[in-house]
Amino acid sequence: MNDVRWIADHPYGAKTPFWTRANAGEVLPVPPTPAAWDLCWANGGCVAGWRDCATNRLGVEDHELHEDPDRCDFIGLIGGYAYLGATWIRVWAERTPGMTAADIDAAYFGDHPDVPPYVAEAWHENELTTSVMTDYLGWVMGSMDQSELEGQRQLARQIRDERPDLSVMTDAELLLRARSLRPICRQLFDMHINQSGAASIGPGVIGAVCAAVGRPEAAMRILAGQGGVDSAEPSYVMWDLSRLVRSDDGLAAEFDQGTVGLADRLREQSEYAAFLSAFDEFLVEFGSRGPNEWDISAATWETTPDLVLALVDRMRLQPDNETPRSKQGDRESEREQLTGEIAALLEGDPETQGQFLAGVASASTFVPGRERSKTNIIRVIQETRMAIWEIGRRAVARGEIGAPSDICMLFEDELDALAEGSLVGVRELVTSRMAHYEHLLSLEPPFIINGEAPPHSTWALKGEREVVEVVADEMIQGMPGCPGTYRGTARIILDPSDPLALEPGDILVAPHTDPAWTPLFVSAGGVVVNVGAALSHAIIVSRELGIPCVVSATDATTRIPDGATIEVNGDTGQVTVIDLR
């Protein structure tokens, strides 16, 4: 495997030794492919966008970061996997008024035992950063102007709406289109990091005030039911599709035959025109979403519509009164009531009351804003995917590769050579890369690295690490995600593309989640996730849909037997095994 060309790892630096898969594992759960990294992340793409945000918005000086302007010490690859630069996240927090490294650790790691203690160093202080962050906090807790984000939303929609006919473009023209989108990814990722930083401020204020008035349990409930969360929106529309299926015996019979090839079967029958019209509208609006959606090698709902129908199939089993909109409405009402109660307790302290209400308004602005900034990028990455997959389809027709997505095993310079007709041995080259990729997938990347990373050749294989299964009455301590308690059957789901085992009311136990998992939340009575941080996807969507949720329940998918009866306590972060049968 060592002679296979692959994406270069982020070089080790003694100044920034602490790296983690937390958060990064949600964005890139598996190693990125060469084409995805070259066309979307590197060479002036998303990585440069993160650096732009750090230096232009968050007060970090450019000379403090990696000397290569296309790298950023906030994110990098180690052993082929994406890692978050936890050293810099801590430093940024220490430089920000009202924040500390301990706050960051609590948000990202909970009580994870492998987190190294924070040790202050002289370079961690920077008056410029502190000054910039003082002004930044004024925006986050003051004007909260989101006009730039809204402008980017319109831009991303325009790019999708104006997609040219890719089938008539040459390979060189398709590559040119993909390259033209890379600086837009950079711009949109800059905004995504900006929104992510802002989204952490309001919840911190709410938590501190609620604790100070003796109502700490109210904080999570005030953060629920925000509304306008883009990653939850597909679930609402899928629900409407599921009601069409539920009310049509013929359509339901088609679903009963299985969802593999279902989209094609339905298109052959004119009586389902109304459903297909609504379905096609869904694909235009949400087709960019899918498992591992940040990597252009991964299938999305547009490229593989049966993925959507498999999720609709699970939803159709739900009775009409289980609509996700009603759950969201219940959370919103509770949030408004609790906000009023806490504000009333602060009537004798107008300054703190003002901070609290500003924190609530800020959270309601930037938590959904963070999800919207992500949606914007994913729309654009989808356009890159569609262009590159068109090149892939042609390579399949020539017998050079087996599937359009295999084209993503080529680097950008190799795609140029392919377009020119000068790349020889394409099948052999792609086959060797895919073998290396499968090898990387077989490895268990360390969740935390502190110091020079051990070579990935020494990493354990997935499933090799000994994990002790739980016993009856045992409790796994995770991080509270969404309040509420629910008892039900644990269903271990490792891939959102294969949801058939999840029955209505089951508890979804997953390794991680991204927006492709969101529709499964609608059928689930509770959610448990192996990893996750305070602003993880699982938490944001669970709060939106009103489902008890626990994240950072380490090894839950391997420790909890499928079919066990468990209780999820989203207020305490505890997952208790009731019965192993």
Where along the chain do its domains lie? 18-213+353-438, 475-579
Per-residue confidence (pLDDT) for residue 329, from 0 to 100: 80
Q: Is 22:91 a contact under the CB 8 Å cutoff?
A: no
Q: Residue 211 above 90 pLDDT?
A: yes
H helix or E strand, kind and range, residue 561: none
Helix (H, G, I), strand (E, B) or coil at 549: strand
The residues pairing with 77 across neighbouring beta strands, listed in sequence order, are 82
- Gap between the Cα atoms of 370 and 84, Å rounded: 17
Confidence of residue 224 (pLDDT cuts 50, 70, 90): confident
The second-level CATH assignment, the architecture, of 475-579 is 3-Layer(bba) Sandwich (3.50)
H helix or E strand, kind and range, residue 526: strand 526-529
Q: Residue 1 above 70 pLDDT?
A: no
For 542-557, what is the mean pLDDT?
89
Type of residue found at 272: Y
- Gap between the Cα atoms of 221 and 332, Å rounded: 9
Q: How, if at all, do strands 475-477 and 75-78 pair?
A: unpaired
Q: Name the residue among 566, 568, 569 with its Cα closest to residue 577.
A: 566
Per-residue model confidence as pLDDT tens digits over 395-451: 999 999 999 999 999 999 999 999 999 999 999 999 999 999 999 999 999 999 999
Q: Residue 127 above 70 pLDDT?
A: yes
Of the chain, the percentage scoring pLDDT greater than 90 comes to 78
Buried b / exposed e along 435-466 (16+ C-beta atoms within 10 A): ebbebbeebebbbbbeeebeebeebeeeeeee
Q: Structure tokens of 393?
A: 């389809």
Q: Is 335:225 a contact under the CB 8 Å cutoff?
A: yes
Q: Name the residue among 391, 421, 422 with its Cα closest to residue 406.
A: 391
Q: Which of 198-212, 380-394, 462-476, 478-492 has the highest mean pLDDT?
A: 380-394
Q: Structure tokens of 118?
A: 């924070």
H helix or E strand, kind and range, residue 304: none
Which residue carries 């325009």 as its tokens?
158
Type of residue found at 286: F
Q: What angle do CA 552, 555, 556 make, to 5 degrees?
A: 80
Helix (H, G, I), strand (E, B) or coil at 72: strand
Q: Name the residue among 375, 367, 227, 319 with its Cα closest to residue 503.
A: 319
Q: Residue 2 above 70 pLDDT?
A: no
Tell me the backbone φ, ψ of residue 158, rounded to 5 degrees: -65, -40
Which residue carries 């590559």 as its tokens?
175
Buried b / exposed e along 232-250 (16+ C-beta atoms within 10 A): bbbbbbbbebbbbbbebee
For 62-87, what is the mean pLDDT?
94
The set of residues, in sequence order, having a beta carbon less than 8 Å from that of 522 and lying 6+ positions away, is 235, 238, 239, 315, 318, 322, 324, 545
Q: What is the mean pLDDT of the chain?
A: 93
Sign of the CA dihedral running 195, 196, 201, 204 = positive
CA dihedral 7, 84, 153, 142 (to 10 degrees): -160
Q: Structure tokens of 283?
A: 């694909």
Reported as half-sphere exposure (CB side, CA atoms, 13 A), residue 350 has a value of: 0
Per-residue confidence (pLDDT) for residue 183, from 0 to 100: 98
CA 222 to chain centre: 22
The CB-based long-range contact list for 560-564 (8 Å cut-off, 24+ gap) reads: 560/469, 560/470, 560/476, 560/490, 560/492, 560/509, 560/528, 561/469, 561/470, 561/490, 562/490, 562/491, 562/492, 562/501, 563/489, 563/490, 563/491, 564/470, 564/489, 564/490
Q: Residue 535 above 60 pLDDT?
A: yes
Type of residue found at 119: V
Using CB atoms within 10 Å of the CB of residue 257, give its burial: 0 to 12 exposed, 13 to 18 middle, 19+ buried. Answer: exposed
The residues pairing with 569 across neighbouring beta strands, listed in sequence order, are 485, 574
Per-residue model confidence as pLDDT tens digits over 17-47: 999 998 888 889 999 999 999 999 999 999 9
- What region, left, alpha or beta, does residue 429 occupy, with left being phi > 0 and alpha being psi -120 to 50 degrees? alpha
Q: Name the residue among 24, 33, 21, 3 with its Cα closest to residue 407.
A: 33
- Gap between the Cα atoms of 35 and 318, Å rounded: 40
DSSP 8-state class, residue 506: P
Per-residue confidence (pLDDT) for residue 380, from 0 to 100: 98
